[in-house]
Amino acid sequence: MSEFDAIVVGGGPAGTSAAMRLAASKLNVLLVEKADPPGSKNVSGGVLWGNSLAGVMPDWEKTAPLERYVKSKGIGFLTKDSSIDISFRSTRFNETKTGYTVLRTKLDQFLNKKAKDAGATVVTGVTVDRLAFEGKKVIGVEQDGDVITSDAVILAEGANPRVAIDSGIRSPLKDEDVAIGVKEVIKLPEKTINDRFNLREKEGFAGEYVLGFLDGGVEAGGFLYTNKDSISLGVVISMKHLRENNKTYSYDIVEQFKNHPSIAPLLEDGKVDEYSAHMVQEGGLASIPKLYGNGYMIAGDAAGFSFSNGLILQGMNYAIASGIAAADTIVEAKTGSGISEQSFSKYEEKLMNSFVLKDMHTFKGIGDITWGNLIHQQMPGILEKVMLGLFMEDGEPKRHMNQIVKEALKSSGLKSSKLLLEGYRMYRRM
């Protein structure tokens, strides 16, 4: 007989949600987290989108350590001199909260405590080395030469899935699977943030940016989120494009973003309080591994569950929903036909019926667009030319908009056939 009904590796949103759910069904669950305190090695942008946490904590919006709710959403194209922004703010977000800015060290500590309160055994500061096998069946985890036995294991170890890779159930990550996330937390008084972003108490701003001005044509997206009394600002850099460039330092790109003429005033007099970095799962459907086997399942970032279409950047909601689905699969197997590869195939079925895998399928191939030349290299420049054509008063006779657009496209060097094809792809996939 195993020591535990289930072991969950990783105390982030996926792992803690799974542990809460398993404990709620009175299963004997061990949650193992390598950091101590939990969350202290985790990095996220981060906005927690959606309402997935309600699955394990109906009152999470009242109890969890949330910074601000997203009242205002921004998209920006930045060129060297200009920014072309779309800003959307709505009182509809007051009633139905769509997202909350969070700081992971605080949030994950809270989630680990909730898992413990629910009845899970939570150990922190302990690193799992690999899965323990008996033939092809997973019988627990190996830790420092010992085997801790368990009927089932959920791997929720995050964006750098060492345990899965070292156990031979996931192939090593490649350039197209990941991006490099680099972030700074910048302290500013709450009132200053409210004034600069036109926010009231508890209201927040979440902005994503195409950085079309970076040295050497590196492709990266920027993000800027308001916390209560700090700003989370960072960049997500394409590994593939940074490699092709091979002369720009990843840690310099976030500074270029910070110093952009449209961003710098928002940060003025702020003090950088923390620098952080983490790989980001970016591969979409193509980088999702086999999600289950006899005795194990993979959840959250470790399974490549994240979503980005250039307008939004999400991961934690996918993590939570997949953690819950994995836990439910174990509970059902235990009370039903028993644990087997067959019974764990229900996990994939559940995900196929939820937004987790539905989104991955709907947005298959989106990476070609979001990391494409059109968005990063041409679009910001074209938009800038159009805006200057419309708004820069230079005493010359005014022109029709179609003329301005035509000239902007022409000067971008983009062939109209290519624009048509790329535009159509973007329209379809986004």
Q: Name the site residues for other proteins (rule: CB under 8 A).
A: 34-36, 39-44, 103-106, 108, 124-125, 127-128, 144, 159-160, 162-163, 172-175, 177-178, 180-182, 184-185, 230, 232, 239, 242-243, 245-252, 255, 258-259, 264, 267-268, 270, 272-279
Nearest approach in angstroms of CB 103 to other proteins is 4
Residue placing its CB nearer to other proteins in the complex, 3 or 175: 175
Nearest approach in angstroms of CB 341 to other proteins is 27
Beta-carbon count within 10 A of 65 CB? 15
Residue placing its CB nearer to other proteins in the complex, 5 or 177: 177
Nearest approach in angstroms of CB 288 to other proteins is 17
Who contacts 75 (Cβ-Cβ below 8 Å, separation ≥6)? 85, 86, 87, 207, 208, 209, 310, 311
Beta bridge partners of 155: 9, 298
**Residue spans of beta strands (DSSP E) within 282-402:** 292-293, 296-298, 307-308, 313-314
Nearest approach in angstroms of CB 104 to other proteins is 4
Residue placing its CB nearer to other proteins in the complex, 181 or 367: 181
Q: Determine whether 37 is exposed, middle or buried from the number of CB atoms within 10 Å of its CB (0-12, 13-18, 19+).
A: middle
Residue placing its CB nearer to other proteins in the complex, 231 or 333: 231
Nearest approach in angstroms of CB 190 to other proteins is 16
Nearest approach in angstroms of CB 302 to other proteins is 11
Residue placing its CB nearer to other proteins in the complex, 81 or 252: 252
Instruction: Please tell me the total number of residues recorded for the chain in this structure.
Output: 430
* Helix or strand holding residue 419 (H, E): helix 416-429
- Spell 338-356 as b/e; 16+ CB within 10 A means b: ebeeebbebbbebbeebbb
Nearest approach in angstroms of CB 419 to other proteins is 32
Residue placing its CB nearer to other proteins in the complex, 28 or 124: 124
Beta bridge partners of 314: 307
Q: Mark out the alpha helices in 6-157 (DSSP H runs).
A: 13-24, 60-63, 92-95, 104-118
Residue placing its CB nearer to other proteins in the complex, 38 or 323: 38
Residue placing its CB nearer to other proteins in the complex, 302 or 414: 302
Beta-carbon count within 10 A of 173 CB? 18
Q: Say how far apart CA 325 and CA 18 lie, in whole Å.
A: 8
Nearest approach in angstroms of CB 241 to other proteins is 11
Beta-carbon count within 10 A of 62 CB? 8
